[in-house]
Amino acid sequence: MKYRRLGDSSLEVSAIGLGCMGMNFSYGPAPDKKEMISLLHKAVELGVTFFDTAEVYGPFTNEELVGEALLPFRNEVKIATKFGFELDPGGGPQWTGLNSRPEHIRKVAEASLKRLRIETIDLLYQHRVDPNVPIEDVAGAVKDLIKEGKVKNFGLSEAGVQTIRRAHAVQPVTALQSEYSLWWREPEAEILPVLEELGIGFVPYSPLGKGFLTGKINENTTFDKTDFRNTVPRLSPENRKANQTVVDLLAQFAVRKNATPAQIALAWLLAQKPWIVPIPGTTKLNRLEENLGALTIELSAEELQEIRMAAEKITIQGTRYSEGAQKLINR
């Protein structure tokens, strides 16, 4: 396993982490719990030390799963979780709005500690920027939790440049988690330069385009009725057909490098900056092993340039989120 440091912080993690959301939330029927615990154990065995969850995944049940599975390995791993949503008070599966008020942050953090069975959260993200709460108040609340030893590092997710700067001035931001992949390169314009300037690490989620960049999904693929990808415009059948060109590009390089499209997509991401740590999610051991195999692939400067030039000629069809979800991004 290779390791990376997130920005200028002391947080060092495996160069590829594991997104845990899909283990019981959002991608159709939840897999068997015992199988997911076994998968998490295998991830640790393979050298993964960075695991990503959130209270809203479930809600709550994903944190409980991660906490139970990783309890025997607490000293070997780093766990990231998130706050920021107002959840259905009736215990329903839906969030009802955003809530990053300081008192709510504290309440969520303390509940997450119990579900995760840990004494300190290694990395606590604001899941989405709350326009009703000044980001300085959010950063201040997390700063207090850090002083108390309940949190070690502060992160933001899908935040815009000015929000990042304002938060960082109050409490240094260790990492930004936002979508980034060969078919969503928007962070390159403004986000990456600011992260580099401020010494903040970058944790790309959906580095495999919600599975599309693996080459295992095409226009004829049918998602389970409970799979959230049914709501993603970019993944409509007609857009999957139109967007196949980006998968074809990855496949060309996969043949050249004796790899898979997924491995090329991850290797490309890893080559962008030494402080980027993608967190592909999976529920299958063979996919976990495949993803980690990306660490053995070296793309030369010429190959990276070739991929970039080819990608720039491709126009991706469809937005990456539904209209409602899109409103919560880059505030």
Helix (H) or strand (E) run with residue 201 in it: strand 201-205
Helix (H) or strand (E) run with residue 324 in it: helix 323-326
Query: β-strand 123-126 against 154-157: which pairing, if any?
Result: parallel
Any idea what the Cα angle at residue 33 is, between residues 113 and 209, rounded to 5°? 85
Is 57 labeled as catalytic in the residue annotation?
Answer: yes
Which residue in the list 3, 27, 57, 205 is annotated as catalytic?
57
User: Strand, coil or helix: what is 144?
Assistant: helix
Round to whole Å and give the CA distance between 63 and 219: 33
Round to whole Å and give the CA distance between 192 and 293: 25
Round to whole Å and give the CA distance between 56 and 58: 6
Token digits of residue 186:
């928007």
Report yes or no: 177 and 125 within 8 Å, Cβ to Cβ.
yes
185, 205, 310, 208: which is closest to 263 by C-alpha? 208
Write the DSSP symbol of residue 218. -
Enzyme catalytic residues: 57
